[in-house]
Structure 1
Amino acid sequence: MSHAEHLRADYAHFQPITTRWHDNDIYGHVNNVVYYSYFDSAVNTYLIEHGGLDIHHGSVVGFVVSSACDYFAPVAFPERIEVGLRVAKLGNSSVHYALAIFKHGQAQACAAGQFVHVFVDRASNRPVSIPPALREALSRLQRTTP
């Protein structure tokens, strides 16, 4: 899989992220584990701003149950990046995201990942149907390609 397979046009929403000094590792680029925090921040920012997710008091929360990332080109502080986001599969209680890291203005991804949320009742930690406002926001991220 190459970065040419992950193009900006394949994603429905873009979340700007500011890289931080401490994101870089001893090799001078953003450490691989930091990409997961970028994914988490992009997804949750979208859910809060567009789906009304209440991370502090809401009765429904999203738990990450799976994640993966492939790396194609390095990113380093102080580069500006954007996380491309789309929904690959929208289930009853789960959503599969496809994500990619783009340097500001570039068409090809530096990294591409997958991320799965299961929505659960906060009190019981049991899966629940995705609430209507969240489902509507997530449905706007669906793409028929790729």
Structure 2
Amino acid sequence: MSDTPPGRAEFPWFHAIGTRWMDNDIYGHVNNVQYYSYFDTAVNHFLITEGGLDIQAADVIGVCVESRCTYRAPLAFPEPIEAGVRVERLGNTSVRYGVGIFRADEPEPAAWGYFVHVFVCRQDMSPTPIPAALREALNRLA
């Protein structure tokens, strides 16, 4: 992962997220653990709305096996934010997403990082190839 933050233009898909009162910590800014929730929310929203993932009944699901976040600027409730998502690497059973957390209309992220999914068979949790519809959607972000 580069030390240089990716710009807004480097993300082909965005999801708006409202910060919540509970996201703030005692210091008055969004706590670091919340950013991972934002990553997870944006990625899974994409998979559900753009890739047709049925989180309740699909035979194949994505599980997070690795994530990382670099913090650049504080955010705080009640400001609205946007999560930009891109695909940095698409394998047979896994995908690495790049995610940027942006203030509305800001060109550089307040935080950025990555999130890795391995797709597994829901029944026995064994790695399995990414289903065709999801792969097609993910290719649009590559």
If the TM-score is normalised by the length of the shorter chain, which range does it land in? Answer: over 0.9
Q: How many corresponding residue pairs?
A: 140
The equivalent residue for 1:103 is: 103
The equivalent residue for 2:124 is: 124
Separation of aligned partners in 2, 1:71 and 1:134: 30
Separation of aligned partners in 2, 1:62 and 1:89: 15
Helix, strand or coil for the counterpart of 1:40?
A: helix
Separation of aligned partners in 2, 1:130 and 1:42: 19
The equivalent residue for 1:28 is: 28
With normalisation by structure 2, the TM-score equals: 0.97
Any residues of structure 2 matched to 1:2-41 within 5 Å, and which? Answer: 2=4, 5-41=5-41
With normalisation by structure 1, the TM-score equals: 0.94
Separation of aligned partners in 2, 1:96 and 1:42: 13
The equivalent residue for 1:113 is: 113
The equivalent residue for 1:77 is: 77
Separation of aligned partners in 1, 2:11 and 2:43: 13
1:63 and 2:71 equivalent?
no
Counterpart of 1:60, as a letter, is V
Separation of aligned partners in 2, 1:14 and 1:50: 12
Deviations 1:1-29 (A, max 9, x none): 24xx3210011100000000000000000
How big is the shift at 1:67? Answer: 0.3
Deviations 1:79-105 (A, max 9, x none): 010001000000000000000100011
The equivalent residue for 1:138 is: 138
Deviations 1:103-128 (A, max 9, x none): 01110110001100000000010001
Helix, strand or coil for the counterpart of 1:45?
A: helix
Separation of aligned partners in 2, 1:6 and 1:103: 14
1:51 and 2:45 equivalent?
no
